Amino acid sequence: MRISTFFYTIKQGFVNIFRNKWFSLASIATIGACLFLFGMFYSVLANFQNIVKTAQEGVSVTVFFDEGISQEKIEEIGALIDKRPEVSKKVFISADEAWNSFKDEYLGEYADGFTENPLADSASYEIYLNDVSMQPALVTYLEGVEGIRLVNRSEVTAATLTGVNALVAYISLGIIVILFAVSIFLISNTVTIGISVRKEEISIMKYIGATDFFVRSPFVIEGMLIGVIGALIPTGIIYVLYNKVIAYIVERFASLSKLLSFLPVETIFSTLFPVSIAMGVGIGFLGSIITVRKHLRV
Amino acid sequence: MARTDSRGKRRKRLAGDQDEIITLQDVTKVYTTGAPALSNVNLHIKKGEFVFIVGDSGSGKSTMIKLLLRELVPSSGSINVMGYDLTRIRHRKIPKFRRNLGIVFQDFRLLKDRNVYENVAFAQRIVQVPSKEIKRNVPSILATVGLAGKYKAKPRQLSGGEQQRVAIARALVNRPSILLADEPTGNLDPKNSWEIMKLLEQINENGTTVLVVTHNREIVNAMQKRVVTMKKGVIVSDEEKGGYIDED
């Protein structure tokens, strides 16, 4: 291909957008609407998952040791715990630390009456999990380990979070399926309009002796440009709206602020932005290829 | 690409030796329904000829044009245009074949959103003529068809006659061996029709083979060229310096 032909093709792609203003606007609006919905649901779901994940991270299993156990034995048990795949981290709390935190929290100045540590046998490991659903397996294991007197766990929280997690997964899947169906419908409609606009132009080009490639290229470039614009607009809107909505929720539901941990907009966009652009370009590319292909057989 | 080019040239030379540029041999075209649109048509056109193809609607003229453009494939028989066997040509070779033809339609078929210059230049861009040459060729061909001053106009700003001139300029700018005109005066008044026909005659005098499908009795009778008359898919007469045969 000649360089001048290459630039002509690129230029035609740009010019085409302005030649068929209304069609371009309709296409941009369609792709934009689909990607806006996608972006919104992605933001909601990502935050929801983050909230669940944060809650899960707070769920821990605490193990207490047999009376009079040696420090060595405790460390041995610690090593065993570290080897378990369920464990994300463990924190050792010595008997003194346990007493101190109990005093501060519940007794205050009344604690002065105690000369010995009443919680002398309350050294413990606080174990945090990778995934709450793994809790029962870990507890069963820990209960079998020699030197462990008691395993404390929060059965209800773990079960609830596991349930919520599954629910989020199902909802995500459902929304993605619906979005996909809506997008296909909207896009195929736009493509049908595109065909009626292009039909004559394509047939003229073919009669004059244009190759399929020459006919197709400007349309494909146009389609991809429309896709990029159709992706930039909704992601821009979401970027602006995101912080405002989060600020509103935090203010409105201040009482839940410990439970609601939102992701920063940059984290959301590190995935949302490239995925939206790729989807926009992909939709534009496929849409234009399909539109043109039907008329190339002249 | 270079290989196909040289092959294309060799084919052309072969056809040139025989002096025949269009050959239809026992061509029949049957659509899925109804009687055949063309039955056993034989037609031989030599390089540099000017031929009218006349006939009523339903006579098979349009089918013949579509076959010559390789928009359709014959049901049986063979078609050879400039050495290209149109019954066997591959899809990807069709564009190259069509670049040897200049085509003019009754409804002009200009790109409405582009100006006169761009419409003509488009044909050159397709064959990848460098921009510099396009800038030289297009004004010159527009001058030939008498539209030098209107290169910036959009098709809708032009009269029917002017639009047809643009279409002719577009058909000629790549110097085709054959010019196919399908009812070129069908949408024009008598004055413009005559001017277009004179232009086609002039093009023919410069060496291009011209094939005109038309209804225009007056023009056919006046121009005294070869006339091929079709009726119900058959060639009923083929005369040098013929006239328009009246329907019974």
User: Which chain B residue has its CA at the smallest distance from A209's CA?
Assistant: B95
Return the higher-pLDDT residue of A176 and B36.
B36
CB within 8 Å: A209 and B95: yes
| A10 interfacial to chain B (CB closer than 8 Å) | no
Residue B19: is its pLDDT beyond 90? no
- Most confident range (mean pLDDT) of A205-209, A292-296, B54-58, B208-212 is B208-212
Q: B92 in contact with A at a CB cutoff of 8 Å?
A: yes
Give the 3-state secondary structure of residue A149: strand
Q: Please give the pLDDT value at position A179.
A: 76
Q: Is A108 in CB contact (< 8 Å) with chain B?
A: no
Let me know: does A142 contact A151? Beta carbons within 8 Å. Answer: yes
What's the pLDDT score for residue B15? 43
To the nearest 10°, report the CA torsion of A283, A289, A294, B2.
Answer: 180
* DSSP run (H or E) holding B172: helix B160-172
Q: What whole-number distance in Å separates Cα of residue B96 and Cα of residue B12?
A: 12
The domains located in chain A, with CATH, are: 3-55+160-293 (no CATH), 60-153 (3.30.70.3040)
The answer to whether the beta carbons of residues A212 and A296 sit under 8 Å apart is yes
Quickly state the pLDDT bin for B12 (edges 50, 70, 90).
very low
The pLDDT of residue B224: 93
Distance from CA of A296 to the nearest CA of B (A): 10
Which residues of chain B from 98 to 127 reach within 8 Å of chain A, CB to CB?
98-99, 101, 103, 109-111, 113, 122-123, 125-127
pLDDT band at B182 (very low <50, low <70, confident <90, very high): very high
pLDDT tens digits along B96-139: 999 999 999 999 999 888 899 999 999 998 888 888 999 999 99
Smallest Cβ–Cβ distance between A4 and the set B69, B126, B131 belongs to B131
Quote the ipTM score: 0.80
Instruction: Name residues of chain A where pLDDT drops below 50.
Output: none
Is the separation of the CB atoms in B247 and B58 below 8 Å?
Answer: no
pLDDT at B11: 44
* Backbone Cα Rg of chain B: 18
CB contact under 8 A, A209 and B98: yes
Residue with token string 């001139």: B165
CA distance B154 to B111: 9
- Is the CA virtual torsion A234, A240, A245, A250 positive or negative? positive
